[in-house]
Amino acid sequence: MNTEIIVLAAGKGTRMKSKKPKVLHPVAGVPMLGRVLESAFRLSPRAIHVVAGFGAAQVSDYLETLPSEISALTDTVIQEKQLGTADAVSCAIDRVHDDSMVLVLYGDTPLVRPEDLRNFLAQSAACDMGILTAIIPDPTGYGRIIRSAGGSFMSIVEEKDATDQQRKINEINTGIICSRALALKEALPEVKNSNAQGEYYLTDVPAIMLAKGRKVSLTRAGDFNTLCGVNSNLQLAQAEAAYREITSRALLDAGVTLADPKRIDVRGSLQCGTDCFIDINCLFEGRVVLGDNVIVGAGCVIKDCSIGDGTIISPYTIIEGSTIKRAATIGPFARLRSGNVLEDRVHIGDFVELKKAHMGEGTKAGHLSYIGDAEFGRDINVGAGTITCNYDGANKHKTVVGDDVFIGSDTQLVAPVTVPSGVTIGAGTTYTRHIQANEGALVITRAGKTIIDGYNRPKKESPKGK
């Protein structure tokens, strides 16, 4: 049967106390709505209808940034006033084909997994409507599932409308329901708003169906962790923690050693070879691939990188958009901005910044340097304080350094400039393109020596009256 998905995303999220629509708050770097849409997309639905309302312009702007295969399936409906979840579904229902199975997802349930949805749809296939429920230790805030003595579905009661006795029930409505489109179209107009919140509750629809003699089934989810709803910043942090637990678990299962599974954040994908070790408080963003035997020290931030076998990244190093080959040693406190390629056994030490630099095999920059827009050969020693002066105030220029060059400390390489192979540059040299040294030469530029005996060093004037 064809599935059409309605994603409810119109609510303000009052308890977030934010100007941003609730569904755009991120979990692991991705807006909650984006996570829900990604899972929705993976079900290969006929269409995805997003109901926006509060901050609709922001929601629409965000939808434009989604991958084209998702946005091609997605349309937006505006719910002018947030009159409740049933009203929100009503706004989109006219767009749904009569012969579809409708799956309703809430934009504030970010961790929902496609495999659980697929299973839920399969379990509900024989009925007119299905409800995904879960048993949780603390059901506060959720709608409760009321079953008959025989265990069959009777109704859903919202927290605010529940009696003390009903509040003790710990089987809750995850908010995820599915329904045959025609049956839903028939039941929605019958929802009333005579309840504690004066809202049209989608959760009243199943009981309406039942009264019409329709079949309603309950499916219990095994793992509630992925089905938590986010109404407050506390619950957002809990969803983040749940996500962290899931990603850490997957890394551990894949054979990665984590110093502390609670102190690693993966906001994207992290793929690791064998015997990798990741120390505490590291953050991985975008797509990161680590080879075998890679060690990542404490407090590193690594984004969109591929890092080769046996590389050691020491603490507090920040690397973005770079390719690092094998057995490199980087950090502590190094910063690699985007566009770098480090060949095997490169060493980048503390307080070295690289940008668009290609560093040949075995080249070392141990301390306090800036190397940008540069092509460095192999086995170069870059002395402390070496800087490529790549920017003339208007344009960027390139620095090319041949193999086996020794660059003395505190050298400035004024780009555009090429240093031939085997050159030795004395400490303190300002190397410009006018130098034109031959291979293997020694180059030193230094200011002449001045010595003034008995020099009168300027002194501070003493304050008046003292």
Q: What is the contact surface with ligand UD1 in residues (CB under 6 A)?
A: 8-11, 22-23, 51, 53, 79, 82-85, 87-88, 106-109, 142-143, 156, 158, 172-175, 201-203, 229, 231
Q: What mask, x for binding Ca ion by CB under 5 A, covers residues 89 to 128?
A: -------------------x--------------------
Take residue 169 and report the two structure tokens written for it. 């029930």
Q: Give me the 253-282 binding string for Ca ion, x by CB under 5 A, dash otherwise.
A: ------------------------------
Told to judge if 367 belongs to the known catalytic residues of this protein, a careful annotator would answer: yes
The minimum distance between CB 202 and ligand UD1, in angstroms, equals 5
Q: How far apart (Å, rounded) are the C-alpha atoms in residues 329 and 33? A: 39
Q: Which is nearer to Ca ion, 229 or 310 (CB)?
A: 229
CB-wise, 201 or 243, nearer to ligand UD1? 201
Stretch that binds Ca ion, among 27-35, 81-89, 227-235, 417-425 (CB under 5 A): 227-235
Q: Which residue is nearest to ligand UD1 (CB)?
A: 143
> Considering only residues 123, 193, 231, 445, which one is a binding residue for Ca ion as defined by CB under 5 A?
231
Contact assessment for residue 456 and residue 440, using Cβ atoms and an 8 Å cutoff: no
Let me know: does 374 contact 391? Beta carbons within 8 Å: no
342, 325 contact by CB (below 8 A): yes
Q: Provide, rounded to whole angstroms, the least separation between the CB of residue 206 and Ca ion.
A: 18
Tell me the closest approach of the beta carbon of residue 418 to ligand UD1, in angstroms.
59
CB atoms within 10 A of CB 320: 18
Residue 220's identity, in one-letter code, is R
Nearer to Ca ion, 136 or 301 (CB): 136
DSSP for 6-34, please give it: EEEE----GGG--SS-GGGSEETTEEHHH
The least CB distance from residue 24 to ligand UD1, in Å, is 11
What 8-state DSSP symbol labels residue 438?
A: P
What helix, strand, coil percent values describe the chain, rounded to 5? 20, 35, 45
Binding range to Ca ion, per CB under 5 A, among 19-27, 224-232, 278-286, 432-440? 224-232
Q: Which does 279 bind (CB under 5 to 8 A by kind): Ca ion, ligand UD1, none?
A: none
One of 347, 367, 397, 434 is an active-site residue; which one? 367
Q: How far is CA 460 from the centre of its chain?
A: 55
* Phi, psi for residue 234 in degrees, rounded to 5: -60, -45
Q: Which is nearer to ligand UD1, 79 or 311 (CB)?
A: 79
Per-residue tokens: 214: 């329709």
CB of 72 to ligand UD1, least distance (A): 23
**169 or 312: CB nearest ligand UD1:** 169
Contacts with Ca ion by CB under 5 A: the residue count is 3
- Minimum distance from residue 72 beta carbon to Ca ion (Å): 28
| Counts of helices then strands in the chain (DSSP H, E) | 9, 35
Task: Choose from ligand UD1, Ca ion, none: what does 297 bind? Cβ within 5-8 Å by kind.
Answer: none
Least distance from ligand UD1 to the Cβ atom of residue 25, Å? 11
Provide, rounded to whole angstroms, the least separation between the CB of residue 108 and Ca ion: 4
Q: Tell me: does residue 229 bind Ca ion (CB under 5 A).
A: yes
Binding marks (x or -) toward Ca ion, 178..217, rule CB under 5 A?
----------------------------------------
Q: Which residue is nearest to Ca ion (CB)?
A: 229
What residue ranges in 280-346 does DSSP mark as E strands?
282-290, 295-296, 301-303, 306-307, 312-313, 318-320, 323-324, 329-330, 335-336, 341-342
Nearest CB to ligand UD1, comparing residues 198 and 458: 198
Q: Is the CB of 173 or the CB of 314 nearer to ligand UD1?
A: 173
Comparing C-alpha atoms, which of 350, 373, 367, 351 is closest to residue 359? 373
For residue 115, report the phi and psi dihedrals to the nearest 5 degrees.
Answer: -65, -35
CA angle 256, 262, 263 (to 5 degrees): 80
Contact between 366 and 382 (Cβ < 8 Å): yes
Whose CA is closest to 321, among 363, 360, 357?
A: 357
Structure tokens at 7: 């994603």
Whichever of 205 and 336 has its CB closer to ligand UD1, that residue is 205
Token digits of residue 48: 């995805």
404 binds, among Ca ion, ligand UD1, none (CB under 5 to 8 A by kind): none
Return the residue matching tokens 């005579």: 194
Q: Give the interface with Ca ion as residue ranges (CB under 5 A).
A: 108, 229, 231
Q: Enumerate the active-site residues.
A: 367
